[in-house]
Structure formats: structure tokens, C-alpha cells
Amino acid sequence: MQTDIWIAIIVAAIGTYVLRVAPLLWTQRHFNKHKANNTQARLPTWLSVLGPLMIAAMLGASLIPKAPSAASWIATGVATVITILVWRKTKALGLPVFFGVAVFGVIYWCALHFL
């Protein structure tokens, strides 16, 4: 591989790491400062608003298939319904995502190979 591709990969990896670790470090510092002052630490309001907005943006982007075809739209629709049903049953994040992705993959693969 060329060195410019490796540089781009390294820059993307460092950027992704910084985007994930910066809020964690800021929150830890924030809570430690309040702990030292013996006061109650609360998350800022903007953080409680920004988190669900980012999840909604990712949801909106992931609901549109990359290659719009009948198979991908059907798989997306069924996977979305399964994800919602599993979430309503478990009220967790991991299992609904797992089942949604698994159902999408199985339906999409079956549609491509058998239809």
C-alpha cells in the first residue's frame, strides 16, 4: 500500500479515538472536581440532548439502504420492525441491534440468492 493511504488510515484512527475518549475524559474530570468539593455532580443539559440527537441521526442514515433495491428495502423494513420489537421486550441496546443486524443480513442474503 502507498504511504499516503496509511497516513490517512492512521489520521482517521486517531481522530476516531479522540472523538470517543475526549468526552469520557471531560466527564471524569467533571465528576472528580465535584467529588473533591463534596458537591453533587450532574451531567450538563446539552449532553443529555446531544446524545439522543446523534443516535437519531445515525438511525436516519442507517435506514436508507446503500444500494436501493427491493431486497434491501424489504430487509431494512423487517429488520427495523424486529429491532423495535426486541427493544420493547428488553429495553436494552445490545440485543436489539444484534437481532436487527442479523435479521437484515439473513433476509438480504436470502433475497439475493433465492429470489
pTM over cut 0.75: no
Q: Is residue 19 part of a domain?
A: yes
Q: Is residue 93 part of a domain?
A: yes
pLDDT band, very low/low/confident/very high, at 1 (cuts 50, 70, 90): low
Q: Examine the domain organization and report whether 68 and 109 are in the same domain.
A: yes
- Which one, of 68, 81, 72, 61, lies nearest residue 105 by Cα? 72
Q: Is residue 49 part of a domain?
A: no
What are the pLDDT digits (tens) for 69-103?
888 899 999 999 999 999 999 988 788 888 998 99
Q: Examine the domain organization and report whether 26 and 67 are in the same domain.
A: no
Domain count, the chain: 2
Share of the chain above pLDDT 70, in %: 99
What are the pLDDT digits (tens) for 17-43?
998 898 888 888 888 888 888 888 777
| Cα–Cα dist 110/78, whole Å | 13
Domain of 86, in residue numbers: 63-114
